[in-house]
Structure 1
Amino acid sequence: MRTFAIGDIHGGLKALLQVLNKIEVTEKDNLIFVGDYVDGWSESAQVIEFLINLSEKINCIFIKGNHDIWCENWLKKDEVNPTWYIHGGKETMESYDGFSAEDKKQHLTFFENLPLYHLDDKNRLFLHAGFTSMHGVEKEIFKENFYFDRTLWEMALAVNHKMDKDSIFYPKRIQHYKEIYIGHTPTTNFGESEPMNALNIWNIDTGAAFKGKVSAMNIDTKEFVQSDNLPDLYPDEKGRN
């Protein structure tokens, strides 16, 4: 049995399919997605439809990202967040052309049921962005941090990566977990096209929303596969700028 953590997709169904084909996914595998399924490329609604169908065949855990929150609010209230609209929301709304009211209702249910984080039986934490409580995710007061916070990753990058976990200087909030897997902050922001590791945190958002790729990592071996760059898969589109 293998478990893969899959980074931000942002409407890039073609990229997701490439990744799943490369890992040769089977019904025995576990797939953990760290959020942001929509907004960016032209197939956001199609990504959600595919994920719903995939979860009927394979054990999948879907974490909620900030873009998923915005899309959920639009499906629920017909609410168009201005920030969302200019950061991929327009393309997501257009991707729903041809989807029935019943389809949209099913997708809304999908979004509403997404957890904000997942902790597995080996004390590995999966969430979209971060958290700030030194006591761990269960004590996090501001739930928005789970899908908006960037300080967790910034802190990990700023600390000496060779620091022993038992050191008194090791950040308290991440000592609670064996490993932490996040998305939200593209590794391409730091000049890296592949997943990045800092302390016990793995960032698997490799910039699919922009000019990067979708990545999937085997969390036991740390081997990973990647799609083509998204602009190559959608040459007539701009993605997010």
Structure 2
Amino acid sequence: MSRTLVIGDIHGGLKALEQVLERAHVTTNDKLIFLGDFVDGWNDTPFVIDFLIDLDKTHNCVFIQGNHEEMLLRWLSEGHDNEEWRLHGGQSTVDVYGKIDADRVSAHINFLIKLNDYHLDDQNRLFVHAGFTNQKGVEYEYFKGMFCWDRTLWEAALSMDATLGRKDLFYPQRLALYEEIFIGHTPVTRIGYSVPVNRANVWNVDTGAAFKGRLTIMDVDTKEFWQSRPLPELYPDEKGRN
């Protein structure tokens, strides 16, 4: 039986990724959609990318760019440094890449260049790292950076009257365009949750793996989900992101 599984923000936590794939009993029949921010935080960032490159050879994978992939690509390919990036997980990535040979770095750059801005499936379900702002939809987005940086889509969903239907006048037009929208980027731990959160037709699957939370993989159709152990338990000698 084929499933569509969506994976939240990994942030260099390879041990958590391996754990959730095992707990979800992932097979080569499953479609895997990674919502971005594979990198920065825990010190396995290069090994996460190696793992994803290999996984793509045997599984049906969709990889979406997050804001941390955008910053990592600029650093690896252009040498562009960013103090804020280093303070928010990038420093551990910089430290580890000092031990990675040039051929692997080149392969990682090629992987990062090919990441998708978003994924829209045949059931009109949208998968994007952060959000978008154009009321006509992702295909009309003027500011491509919104796909991996926007937080207003999630804020709009959180602030909505729960009784509104998709045909109501006050239902946000950009949300109504899609059957469902799956995002990461903004950890649900910020609003006191540790599991995926649904508001309106938006599902947030970032359960705080960059910090003290867990990594989550969820079945898009059934909404069943599986989680890793909290990342500090898997990386007891590290601090993760601040």
Give the alignment's TM-score, normalised by structure 1. 0.98
Secondary structure at the aligned position of 2:218 is classed as strand
- 1:33 is aligned to 34
Q: Which amino acid aligns with 1:201?
A: V
Say if 2:75 is the partner of 1:56: no
Alignment match, 2:234: 233
Letter in 2 for 1:60: C
Deviations 1:50-90 (A, max 9, x none): 00000000000000000000110111012211111111111
**Residues 93-124 of structure 1: per-residue CA shift (max 9 Å, x gap):** 12224321010000000000001100001100
Distance 1:20 1:162 in 2: 35
What are the residue-to-residue correspondences of 1:110-121 with 2, within 5 Å?
Answer: 110-121=111-122
CA shift for structure 1 position 234: 0.5
Partner of 1:23 in structure 2?
Answer: 24
Among the aligned pairs, what percent are the same residue?
54
SS in 2 for 1:197: strand
**Secondary structure, in 3 states, of the residue corresponding to 1:216?**
strand
Residue of structure 1 in register with 2:10 after alignment: 9
> 2:37 matched to 1:43?
no
Q: How does 1:82-161 map to 2 (within 5 A)?
A: 82-161=83-162
Shift of residue 160, structure 1, vs aligned partner: 1.2
Distance 2:54 2:100 in 1: 15
Aligned-residue Cα RMSD (Å) equals: 0.7
Q: Which residue of 1 aligns with 2:73?
A: 72
Q: CA deviation at 1:162?
A: 2.6
Q: What's the secondary structure of 1:56's corresponding residue?
A: helix
Partner letter of residue 183 of structure 2? Answer: I
CA contact (8 A) 1:162 1:199 kept: no
The alignment partner of 2:208 has SS state of coil
Q: Secondary structure, in 3 states, of the residue corresponding to 1:232? A: helix
SS for the counterpart of 2:195 is coil
Q: Partner letter of residue 45 of structure 2? A: S
**d(CA) in 1 for partners of 2:226 and 2:124?**
24
- Gaps of at least 5 residues in structure 1 are none
Question: What count of residue pairs does the alignment treat as equivalent?
Answer: 241
Q: Does the 8 Å contact 1:3/1:32 carry over to 2? A: yes
Q: For 1:177-213, what per-residue CA distance to the aligned partner results, in whole angstroms no more than 9, with x for missing partners?
A: 0000000000000000000000000000000111101
SS of equivalent residue, structure 1 residue 76: helix
Answer yes or no: is the 8 Å Cα contact 1:126–1:182 preserved in 2. Answer: yes
CA distance in 1, matches of 2:237, 2:13: 13
Deviations 1:137-187, CA, capped at 9 Å, x for gaps: 111111111111100000000001231111111110111100000000000
Q: What SS does the corresponding residue of 2:58 show, helix, strand or coil? A: coil
Counterpart for residue 199 of structure 1: 200
Which residue of structure 2 lines up, in the alignment, with residue 222 of structure 1?
A: 223
Q: Secondary structure at the match of 1:89?
A: helix
TM-score, scaled to structure 2: 0.98
Amino acid at match of 1:161: A
**CA distance in structure 1 between the partners assigned to 2:215 and 2:124 by the alignment:** 25
- Post-superposition Cα deviations, 1:115-134, rounded to whole Å, max 9, x if no partner, equal 11000011000000011111
Shift of 1:219: 0.2
- Range 176-185 or range 163-172, more displaced: 163-172
CA–CA separation in structure 2 for the residues paired with 1:126 and 1:211: 24
**Distance in 2 between the 1:132 and 1:161 partners?**
21
